[in-house]
Amino acid sequence: MATYTLYGAEVSYFTGKARAYLRWRGVDFEEVLSSRDVFASVILPKVGWPVIPVAAMPDGEIVQDTADIIAHVEAREQLKPPVQPEGPLQRFVNELLHLYADEWLVIPAMHYRWSYCEEWAYAEFGALSAPEASPEEQFEIGRNMGQMFRGMTPMLGVTPETIPGIEASYEAFLADFTRHLKAHPFLLGRRPCLADFAFIGPLYAHLLRDPVPGELMRRIAPRVADWVASTHAGAKDISPLPADDSVPETLVPILQRQMREQLPALQATAALFEGWLKMATPGADLPRGFGMIPITIEGRTAEAAARAFQLYRLQGALDAYAALEGEEKVRADALLSATGGEALSTLQLPARLTRRNYRLALA
């Protein structure tokens, strides 16, 4: 049997997403700890910059970015059911939730890790980077590594002013997700889809596994904690999704939160992207961000970086919306209206984005 190799770590947000998918898909894979030796011998020479997860396909091709890893495995294996929903409306909602998990739940994930678990995280980073070192040496190595990640939190809008809003929003999300899970085993029905694995990124690697948010989740949302653990372990359910392409009503509060909090940030980022395009050359690599934008979470406002990659995930959702026709589009528009997301139906990116040489670029 062909073997995949996943270079990642338990502490890594996006490794959890890829690992849960590979376990569910049931392919043969080996996970290799991304120590500093692995970065030096594999990741930096192949990818060109320090990032995990990275996956090696059975033919040796190196793939980076979890969505790309999943798409490559799907194309190679051609197994049923597909990770992407087949219903057009379900596929659109799947992409919306993918966008939310990858690019918005990162805010509470990074807040809880670096506001409450800083020293624990340094020890984790050190053990990852130098498993052969003593605990004291690992801590110092982890501190040197972790300072970069710790310094990212203000760029995500995590400030003393916004922290109460971030925590209130996250706890409300846990309550909404708990209500959903009482009625449905996964986001869109009786089997996991791409969005479920995207949720595992923040909810497992940061918010369940880190000690302080892990205790919080187990205490106030034990059903969510159990779902995270079982889905990360590779829940094998392949039951069909609703044949009528319906979307659970219990997702409406989660989508309302997404539209209330994330959509304005996406609109502002798209506007700055349009300004950047005026000076960009065709096919240029995108910067990590385009400047600063305001974000508001539970009435708390701060400046945050206008991150470029969220536009790539947004493009996936907009493409799924554009593919809708007739009654499908009517139902999608009704859902957007019910969730306060009407502006998404007219939102357009001023240029196509692609992934080239492991980087985000103009198509």
Are 288 and 308 in contact, with CB atoms under 8 Å apart? yes
CA distance 146 to 149: 5
The pLDDT tens digits for 73-116 are: 999 999 999 999 999 999 999 999 999 999 999 999 999 999 99
pLDDT band at 245 (very low <50, low <70, confident <90, very high): very high
- What percent of the chain clears pLDDT 90, i.e. is strictly above it? 89
> Is pLDDT at 1 greater than 80 in this prediction?
no
Average pLDDT in the 218-229 region?
98
Average pLDDT in the 109-130 region?
92
Average pLDDT in the 121-143 region?
88
> Is pLDDT at 237 greater than 80 in this prediction?
no
| 300-307 vs 289-297, strand pairing mode | antiparallel
**Please, is 306 exposed, middle or buried when counting C-beta atoms within 10 Å of its C-beta (0-12, 13-18, 19+)?**
buried
Are 350 and 122 in contact, with CB atoms under 8 Å apart? no
User: Cα angle vertex 45, ends 25, 50, to 5°?
Assistant: 70
CA distance 19 to 80: 18
The overall pTM is greater than 0.85? yes
On average, the pLDDT of the chain sits at 95
Are 250 and 184 in contact, with CB atoms under 8 Å apart? yes
Q: Closest Cα to residue 97, out of 207, 22, 176?
A: 176
Average pLDDT in the 334-355 region?
97
Q: Which residues pair with 362 in a beta bridge?
A: 353
CA distance 229 to 221: 13
